[in-house]
């Protein structure tokens, strides 16, 4: 399966899914998502672990490992809980896992896409610009003290 992912990589560096139903993180249509079966989930983890092993053994590139991890959305390690086949026989990891909503919604996810669409709409209607938003976010009452001191990322 790792070899198939390497062959199917497009110009953007992301692996193409054989089913053609890959959904970006910014998608907000719940009908577009599917729940993996336990077997599919375990197979995906096994592919990631194998890709990591191949990389550790210098049998593949770092880019290939990153492509596999991006394609499946996980960074499983050989020593991690997701790769533990004994644990997987006793526990359905998908049923007990909790996902990081902050990154899914905030870190270039659904909320970020919606916020940029709102800013674009405001600009198109003469209500506000990106510079207005940046100025607002730099106001002392908006951003906590440690963020203001911490650097220029904001």
Do 89 and 127 sit in the same domain of this protein?
A: no
Q: Which residue segment(s) compose the domain that 15 sits in?
A: 2-97
At 9, is the secondary structure helix, strand, or coil?
A: strand
Do 17 and 84 sit in the same domain of this protein?
A: yes
Do 55 and 130 sit in the same domain of this protein?
A: no
Over residues 98-136, the pLDDT tens digits come to 666 676 677 777 778 888 889 999 999 999 998 998 888
Is 104 contained in some domain?
no
Surface-to-core class of residue 45, CB atoms within 10 Å of its CB (0-12 exposed, 13-18 middle, 19+ buried): buried
| Over residues 10-16, mean pLDDT | 41
- Whole-model pTM: value is 0.52
Over residues 59-95, the pLDDT tens digits come to 999 999 999 998 888 888 888 888 899 999 888 888 8
Q: Do 45 and 82 touch, CB atoms closer than 8 A?
A: yes
Q: Structurally, how many domains does the chain consist of?
A: 2
pLDDT of residue 13: 37
């Amino acid at each position: 399966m790792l070899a198939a992912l390497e062959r199917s990589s497009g110009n953007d560096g992301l692996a193409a899914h054989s089913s053609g139903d890959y959904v970006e993180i910014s998608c907000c249509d719940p009908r577009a998502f599917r729940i993996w079966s336990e077997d599919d989930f375990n197979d995906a983890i096994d592919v990631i672990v194998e890709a990591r092993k191949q990389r550790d053994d210098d049998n593949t590139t770092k880019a290939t490992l990153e492509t596999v991890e991006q394609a499946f959305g996980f960074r499983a390690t050989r020593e991690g809980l997701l790769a533990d086949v004994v644990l997987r026989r006793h526990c359905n990891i998908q049923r007990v896992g909790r996902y990081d909503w902050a990154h899914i919604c905030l870190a270039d996810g659904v909320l970020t896409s919606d916020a940029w669409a709102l800013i674009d709409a405001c600009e198109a209607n003469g209500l506000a610009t990106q510079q207005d938003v940046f100025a607002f976010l730099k106001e002392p009452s908006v951003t906590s003290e440690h963020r203001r001191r911490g650097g220029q990322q904001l």
